Structure 1
Amino acid sequence: MEIGLFTSGYQRSPLEHAFIDAKRFGYDYIELWGGRPHAFAPDLRNGDIRLIQSLIEKYEVKVLGYTPEHNAYPYNFMMGSEAMRRDCVDYLKLCMDMGKEMGAEFTMISPAHAGYEARYDEIWKRLTVTVRELAEYAEKIQHTIVVEALTPYETNVVKSANDLARLFDLVESPYVVGMCDVVPPFVQGESIMAYFSILKDKMKHMHIVDGKNGEDTHYLPGEGSIPLKELLAEIKFAGYKGAATIELVTNYINEPRLYAKRAIDHLRSYMEEK
C-alpha cells in the first residue's frame, strides 16, 4: 500500500518543503491541498501550475490526488443561494482541470455542512444535482472525483459509508468513487472495515491517521485510540490495492517536518509488524 503526505500541514511553510520531506522521509506520493498560498486553483490557472509541475519533476514525487479547499471558506456547494452553489461548482470544475493538468489521478470533494435548518430532502436534492453536474464534467475530461465522508462535527450531509453508497446509487458514474478517512467511522461508533464491504469496487482511497472519541482531530498514528496495527492487518487481508494518505492537517502546523517524519515512521512500523 502506497503512503502519501498531505500538504495542508505545511501551509505556513514553502510548499517545496513538503516535496523535500516526502522524498527524504520515504513517502510514495503527495496529496496536494488546494488552498493559498500553495495550490489554490485560480492561482494554478494563472501560472502557478508550472511550479507544481517543476516540483514533481525535481523531487520525483508524484501528486496522486488534488484536494481543493471548499468547506465554507469561501466555497460550500451545500449551503447558500443558487448563485453561491453555481460559483462553487465552477470552482470545482477548475480544480478538476488543474488536477488533471498536474497529473493527479483524482480530485477530492467533501460535501460540507448544509446548515442546521436544512431538511434531508433538501440536502439530498442539492447534493445529487451538484455531484451529477460534476460527474458529467469529470466524464468529459476523463478525470476521477473521489468523494470523502466527514465527521458529524464537520457536516450533516455525507458522514458514512451508507451515505456514500446512497450517493453512488443516485449518481451513477465510473468517474465518481469513494474513500474512507478512518476518523469519521471511529468517532461515530461505526465500522471502518464496513467501507470495503459496502462500497466494494467504489472504495478507492484512504486517509489513515489516529483519532479519539468525541472529537474530529486527526492525530499522529499511535497517539490516539484507533487500533491501527490491527486495522492495517485487516486492510491488507481485505486485499485493498489503493493508497493511503497520512492526513495531518493543522494540529501539527508549527513543526510539520518533525511530525511528518514521526507519522510515517509509526505507520511503517505497524505495517511491518507480524
Structure 2
Amino acid sequence: MKIAFSTNAFKRYSLEDSIKEIAAIGYEGVEILCDVPHAYPPEFSEKKIQSIKNLLSRNNLQISNLNAFTLYAVGDTYHPSWIEDDEKSRETRVKHTIDCIHMAKKIGAKNISTEPGGPVNGADNHSFAHLEKLFINGLLRASEIAEKQGIKILVEPEPFLLLENSKQFKSFIKKVNSEYVKLNFDIGHFFCVSEDPAQLVYELVDYTDHFHLADIAQDRVHHHLIPGLGAIDFAQVFEAMDEIGYSGFVTVELYPYQSNPVEAAQKTFDYLRDIAK
C-alpha cells in the first residue's frame, strides 16, 4: 500500500504550501480538498490545474483522491447533500460531483470521494427507502459522466449519515450496479459504528478502491485522532490489506488538527512507518 495525507487538515495553508509540506515529510501521495480554500472547481482554473500538476511532479507526489465530500463554498460539511428535500439543493450536490469528476480527469486523479447520502435529520420524515432512492438517482446521473471520463466515485459511509455501516453499503451498492461507483473505506468510521475494520477489509474487498485512515478513541465517538492515540489496531488492519493484495493508497485524514497539521502529519508518518515494517 501507499500512504497519502489529505489537505483538509491544511485549510490554513494554501494548496501549494500544503503539497510542499506533505511531500517534505515523505508521503507518497496527497488527497486534494475540492472545496474552499483549496480546489473548489468553479474557482480552480485550467492554469491553476496545470500549475498544481507541475508542483506535484516536482515533489514526486501522486494524487490519492479528490475529496468532494464537504461543500463549505456554498454550505457546510454535509449540505447541500444528495437527499435534501429541496430539489435545487440536491442539484447543487450533483453538479459539484460532476465538476469534481471533470477536474479529476484534468488533474490526473483516478477517483473522487463523496458523502453517503447526507444527514437523515436534515430531511423531513421520509423513509430510508425514499432517501436512498434520491441518493441513487443523483449518483447515477453523476456516474454516467464518471464512466465517460474513466473516474471512480467513491461513497464513504459515516456515522449518523444515510449509510453508516457495511450492511447498508452492501445493500446500496447492489442497487447502484455501476463499475464507476465504489467504496471509500474509512477505517475510523467503521470502527465508530462498532464494526471490525480488519474483518471488513475482507468482506468489502470487491468494492474498495481507496482507504481513509484516522484513529478513534475507545468510546468510538467520531473524532479523528492521530494514529496511536486511539483504540484501532492498525497493524491488524494492515495485515488484512496485505492479505487481499491491496496496493493502492491509504490517505490519512486529520482535519481536526488545523492548528498543527505539519506536526500531526509528521507524527502519523513516523507511527505508520514503524508499524508497517
Q: Identify which range, 203-212 or 230-239, moves more after superposition.
A: 230-239
CA distance 1:179–1:49, change in 2 (3 Å): same
Structure-2 residue corresponding to 1:55: 55
Q: Of 188, 191, 194, which residue of structure 2 is paired with 1:183?
A: 188
Counterpart of 2:85 in 1: which secondary structure? coil
Does 2:80 align with 1:75?
A: yes
Q: Amino acid of the residue matched to residue 135 of structure 2?
A: L
Q: Of 228, 235, 247, which residue of structure 2 is paired with 1:241?
A: 247
Quote the offset at 1:179 in angstroms: 2.5
**Cα distance in 1 between the residues matched to 2:189 and 2:61:** 29
Structure-2 residue corresponding to 1:88: 93
**Cα distance in 2 between the residues matched to 1:44 and 1:93:** 14
Counterpart of 1:99 in 2: which secondary structure? helix
TM norm structure 1: 0.91
TM norm structure 2: 0.90
**Cα distance in 2 between the residues matched to 1:151 and 1:42:** 30
Structure-2 residue corresponding to 1:114: 120
Does 2:147 align with 1:142?
A: no
CA distance 1:197–1:236, change in 2 (3 Å): closer
Note the aligned Cα RMSD (angstroms).
1.8
**Cα distance in 2 between the residues matched to 1:245 and 1:98:** 19
Structure-2 residue corresponding to 1:44: 44
**Cα distance in 2 between the residues matched to 1:257 and 1:231:** 25
Deviation per residue, 1:74-102 (Å, 9 max, x gap)? 53122131121112211210111011110
Counterpart of 2:276 in 1: which secondary structure? helix
Deviation per residue, 1:32-60 (Å, 9 max, x gap)? 11121211111114643233223213322
Is the 1:76–1:85 Cα contact (8 Å) retained in structure 2?
A: yes
Is the 1:41–1:68 Cα contact (8 Å) retained in structure 2?
A: no
CA distance 1:194–1:133, change in 2 (3 Å): farther
**Cα distance in 2 between the residues matched to 1:6 and 1:125:** 30
Is the 2:110–2:150 Cα contact (8 Å) retained in structure 1?
A: no
Structure-2 residue corresponding to 1:21: 21
Q: Amino acid of the residue matched to residue 28 of structure 2?
A: D
Quote the offset at 1:205 in angstroms: 1.1
**Cα distance in 2 between the residues matched to 1:87 and 1:254:** 30
Quote the offset at 1:106 in angstroms: 0.5
CA distance 1:254–1:270, change in 2 (3 Å): same
Q: Amino acid of the residue matched to residue 120 of structure 2?
A: A
Q: Of 182, 207, 211, which residue of structure 2 is paired with 1:206?
A: 211
Structure-1 residue corresponding to 2:4: 4
Structure-2 residue corresponding to 1:171: 176
Does 2:213 align with 1:227?
A: no
User: Aligned residues: percent identity?
Assistant: 23
Q: Identify which range, 135-144 or 43-52, moves more after superposition.
A: 43-52
Is the 1:205–1:244 Cα contact (8 Å) retained in structure 2?
A: yes
| Structure 1 unaligned regions, length at least 5 | none
Q: Of 130, 136, 140, which residue of structure 2 is paired with 1:132?
A: 140
Q: Amino acid of the residue matched to residue 240 of structure 2?
A: E
Is the 2:199–2:240 Cα contact (8 Å) retained in structure 1?
A: no
Q: Amino acid of the residue matched to residue 275 of structure 2?
A: Y
Is the 2:202–2:240 Cα contact (8 Å) retained in structure 1?
A: no
| Structure 2 unaligned regions, length at least 5 | none
Counterpart of 1:257 in 2: which secondary structure? helix
